[in-house]
Homo-oligomer: A and B are copies of this chain.
Amino acid sequence: MFNRVAIVGPGLIGGSIGMALRKRRLASTVVGIGRREVSLRRALHVGAIDKATLSIAEGVRGADMVILATAPATYEGLLKEAAHALRPHSILTDVASTKVGVIETIIAALEARPDVAYVPTHPMAGSEKQGPLAARADMFEGAVCIITPLTNTFPNVKSVVVDMWKALGARLVSMTPQGHDRLVARISHVPHLLAATLMQLVTEDEADLSGGGLRDSTRIAISSPELWIDICRENRQQIQIALEEYIKLLQQTADCLDKQDFNRLKELLQAAKAKRDRLS
């Protein structure tokens, strides 16, 4: 499928992509680009990459596919260094969990390289863990991968990216960057803030007495605050809208208790259960 794939940031997600590509023999060479030698050694050790380099310009050279898998805040600086070295007519993709702002940044950074096709994606997979040691070749099997193609992207270029994710086992869904950011605010970012707020409500002693319910519903609060602050910054407006809507719904639930309207509350709980039952 590919001759040379460059993975910028072969950590949890980037490393899993590399591992999956290598396992399925979809690339002759997978090059990992990182800032820290120890991480790159780990990525090599777990079989996420074939080669490693600290230099992004060196790493992307000759790659037909470049995958940005570092924190979005690093994209601008990295592309500044890498833009001149990108192979003519190569494809660039990213895996950032917000899209509108990231796309603006990347388009601007690639201004001098109109030959390079940028196809934004967001694989909806992961773990609370980080780094190449948590990478898994089956990370994307059955996972949703959202693609938010630019309007000027050639269909055959888009297909290359779609086919790569499909080969890794993902279910592809296409939408606009705005639609994506609204969606993830609702199904991922707000749930994270709710879990973090719940951990503020309970004391350590109280949490210590809890059963599986609290544990399950706050598991996402384990993930990196740094990563989440970046997400909150990038997707602030959509998160605010969704959070406001959530607070209104929660106020309705509180009103049911206040008015002792248990029929209405039961309807709400039943509707919630019915919707949740459909998820596996």
Contact = CB atoms under 8 A, between A and B. Distances in A.
Query: What is the count of identical protomers in the complex?
Result: 2
Interface in A122-178: 124-126, 143-144, 146, 173
A240 B211 contact: no
A75 interface: no
Contact of A236 (B126, B240, B257, B268): B257
Contact of A254 (B210, B228, B243, B265): B243
Contacts of A85: none
Contact of A216 (B126, B217, B280): B217
> What secondary structure prevails in chain A residues at the interface with B?
helix
A211 B266 CA distance: 27
Interface stretch (A2-10, A107-115, A180-188): A180-188
A207 B254 contact: no
Nearest to A269: B225
B233 A213 contact: no
B229 A146 contact: no
Nearest to A97: B211
Nearest to A194: B194
A38 interface: no
A198 B188 contact: no
A28 interface: no
Contacts of A250: 193-194, 197, 243, 246-247, 250
Contacts of A251: 247
Contacts of A104: none
Interface residues of A, number: 82
Contact of A195 (B192, B217, B249, B254): B217
Contacts of A216: 216-217, 219-220
Contacts of A221: 269, 272-273, 276
Interface in A198-254: 198-202, 204, 206-226, 228-229, 232-233, 236, 239-240, 242-247, 249-251, 253-254
A243 B201 CA distance: 9
A244 to B, nearest CB: 7
Contacts of A218: 191, 217, 272, 276, 279
B215 A279 contact: yes
A257 to B, nearest CB: 5
Contacts of A204: 275, 278
A69 interface: no
A116 interface: no
A120 B112 CA distance: 74
